[in-house]
């Protein structure tokens, strides 16, 4: 990797087992002060060999400009979550080949997932940094702490150096159809610095032009929007203020209400966004809850035309309120919708994927360690009933084959077929944290060994698979 300003060159080297070390060379000895490892003079300069440690990751980010995450702004972008911390080289390859004009977010993980796996925000960022060096990425990068619900989550992202903060007030969304009682008790008017009459005066009759057709916001929609999202607005304001107060580096916000059961109408999106603006929140992308059909790790299950209409409405609100991006979460493997989504949003779009890179890892396992995949599949099936409640999934365990009944040649199909694919997707937590009697995460360890030995194959599978996601977004 080249950094012409100070001539420092860093690379990640692998031995025959796939184990990695960092190599840094520079003509200026002081450049190496931040790094740890063994250094020596070499030719006209100095060379250091060191571990892939937090110290060295931080040193890389402070000496190599493009490795330092930055806010994405409103240009096209895509987040590629990585549960194992080993996917970035393949992600880089996908962007190098297919991602022209799309800014990558290689470090992206939700607080929930970090906690589930026992990963720190720092590890998430460091793994992405080393992956960038290994695959020689020299473009800009973002870094997204996803689905933050607490100020403590914000602090974790800030301390690690993340730059995008996806604030998720979803726990505060209220179902207006089952909510009982007086509207003044259901909406936190005090923290919103508002009252119902003022709300109606402000926005009632506002017209949004959706593909040439005016959509007029009614009093009913506003009051319903306030019941449903008023507390969520107040919570977003709280989180946003904390972020702005505490941040010592450039940061940006995404607002995400996609992880609730209640679909966000275009009028409700308008209510939320207009209110957040009034209360001083500034954000670059917004993830509403779309019409059903976004299940984990599989094709879009709804009608693409309906989704396009939905997206055009959301994009119209975003444009009218300042031109932020529409964010598509659970975006993995939905090849049928990407072109329509780019078109409907005029390219003001952010795509988030995550679990699909874990599934690509399982393809490597299916090819090279059949028994390990059967074991992972067995654990995933057992955990499916427990964990399915937290995901949008519809796989039926009973329609999937028993682990013992799957031949080596059929293991690839297991990763590809709808029901077993979803089961494997959702089972990652129990698989990666499964321990033996000694307390070792034996499946996680075994998986990492396979991926180290076959890191080239893993990177190629990822480059192809993520590349198929990227192509419709590239410009």
DSSP single-letter state for residue 404 = G
In angstroms, what is the minimal distance from the CB of 244 to Zn ion?
Answer: 22
In angstroms, what is the minimal distance from the CB of 352 to Zn ion?
Answer: 6
Please, which residue, 329 or 455, has the CB nearer to Zn ion? 329
- Tokens found for residue 48: 């250091």
In angstroms, what is the minimal distance from the CB of 306 to Zn ion?
Answer: 20
Please, which residue, 258 or 369, has the CB nearer to Zn ion? 258
Q: Which residues bind Zn ion (CB under 5 A)?
A: 258, 329
Looking at the DSSP assignment, which residues form a beta bridge with residue 103? 77
Of 340, 313, 345, 309, the residue nearest 327 (C-alpha): 345
Of 280, 354, 362, 264, the residue nearest 314 (C-alpha): 264
In angstroms, what is the minimal distance from the CB of 146 to Zn ion?
Answer: 7
Of 279, 288, 267, the residue nearest 203 (C-alpha): 267
Active site residue 430: no
In angstroms, what is the minimal distance from the CB of 354 to Zn ion?
Answer: 9
366 contacts: CB under 8 Å, gap ≥ 6: 373, 411, 412, 414, 415
Positive or negative torsion for Cα 165, 171, 176, 182: negative
Q: Which residue's C-beta sits nearest to Zn ion?
A: 329
Please, which residue, 137 or 294, has the CB nearer to Zn ion? 294
Query: Beta-carbon neighbour count of residue 2 at 10 Å?
Result: 11
Kind and range of the H or E run holding 38: strand 38-42
The sheet carrying 38-42 orders its strands as 2-3, 8-14, 20-26, 45-50, 38-42
Of 268, 273, 274, the residue nearest 289 (C-alpha): 268
Please, which residue, 52 or 143, has the CB nearer to Zn ion? 143
Active site residue 15: no
Please, which residue, 224 or 352, has the CB nearer to Zn ion? 352
Question: Residue 64, Cα to own-chain centre: how many angstroms?
Answer: 24
Please, which residue, 48 or 351, has the CB nearer to Zn ion? 351
Catalytic residue among 126, 146, 235, 258: 146
Catalytic residue among 254, 259, 363, 444: 254
In angstroms, what is the minimal distance from the CB of 137 to Zn ion?
Answer: 25
Residues involved in catalysis:
146, 254
């Amino acid at each position: 990797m080249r950094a012409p300003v100070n001539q420092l060159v860093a690379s990640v080297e692998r031995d025959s087992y796939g184990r990695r070390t960092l190599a840094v060379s520079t003509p200026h000895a002081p450049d190496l002060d931040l790094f740890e490892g063994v250094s020596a003079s070499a030719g006209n300069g100095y060379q250091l060999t060191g571990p892939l440690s937090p110290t060295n990751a931080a040193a890389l980010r402070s000496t190599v400009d493009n490795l330092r995450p930055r806010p994405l702004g409103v240009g096209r972008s895509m987040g590629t979550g990585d549960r194992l911390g080993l996917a970035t080289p393949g992600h880089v390859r996908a962007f190098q080949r297919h991602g022209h004009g799309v800014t990558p977010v290689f470090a992206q993980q939700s607080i929930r997932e970090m906690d589930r796996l026992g990963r720190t925000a720092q590890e998430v960022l460091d793994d992405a940094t080393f992956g960038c060096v290994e695959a020689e990425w020299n473009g800009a990068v973002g870094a997204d702490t996803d689905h933050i619900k607490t100020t403590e989550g914000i602090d974790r992202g800030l301390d690690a150096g993340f730059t995008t903060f996806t604030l998720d007030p979803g726990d505060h969304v209220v179902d207006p159809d089952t909510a009982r009682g007086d509207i003044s008790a259901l909406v936190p008017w005090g923290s919103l610095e508002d009252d119902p009459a003022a709300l109606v005066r402000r926005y009632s009759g506002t017209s949004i032009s959706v593909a040439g057709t005016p959509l007029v916001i009614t009093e009913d929609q506003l009051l319903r929007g306030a019941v449903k999202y008023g507390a969520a607005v107040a919570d977003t304001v709280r989180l946003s203020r904390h972020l702005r107060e505490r941040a010592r580096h450039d940061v940006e916000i995404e607002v995400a209400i996609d992880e609730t059961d209640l679909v966000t109408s275009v009028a409700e999106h308008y209510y939320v966004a207009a209110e957040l603006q009034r209360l001083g929140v500034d954000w670059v992308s917004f993830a509403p809850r779309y019409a059903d059909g976004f299940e984990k790790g599989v094709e879009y299950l709804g009608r693409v035309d309906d989704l396009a209409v939905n997206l055009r409405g959301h994009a119209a609100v975003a444009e009218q309120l300042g031109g932020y991006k529409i964010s598509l979460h659970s975006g993995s493997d939905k090849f049928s919708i990407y072109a329509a989504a780019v078109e409907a949003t005029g390219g003001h779009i952010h795509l988030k994927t995550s679990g699909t890179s874990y599934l690509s890892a399982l393809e490597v396992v299916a090819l090279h360690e059949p028994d390990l995949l059967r074991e992972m599949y067995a654990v995933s099936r057992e955990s499916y009933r427990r964990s399915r409640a937290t995901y949008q999934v519809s796989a039926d365990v009973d329609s999937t084959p028993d682990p013992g009944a799957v031949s080596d040649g059929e293991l690839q199909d297991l990763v590809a077929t709808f029901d077993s694919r979803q089961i494997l997707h959702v089972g990652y937590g129990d698989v990666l944290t499964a321990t033996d009697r000694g307390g070792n995460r034996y499946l996680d360890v075994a998986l990492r060994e396979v991926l180290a030995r076959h890191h080239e194959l893993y990177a190629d599978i990822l480059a192809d698979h993520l590349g198929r996601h990227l192509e419709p977004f590239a410009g």
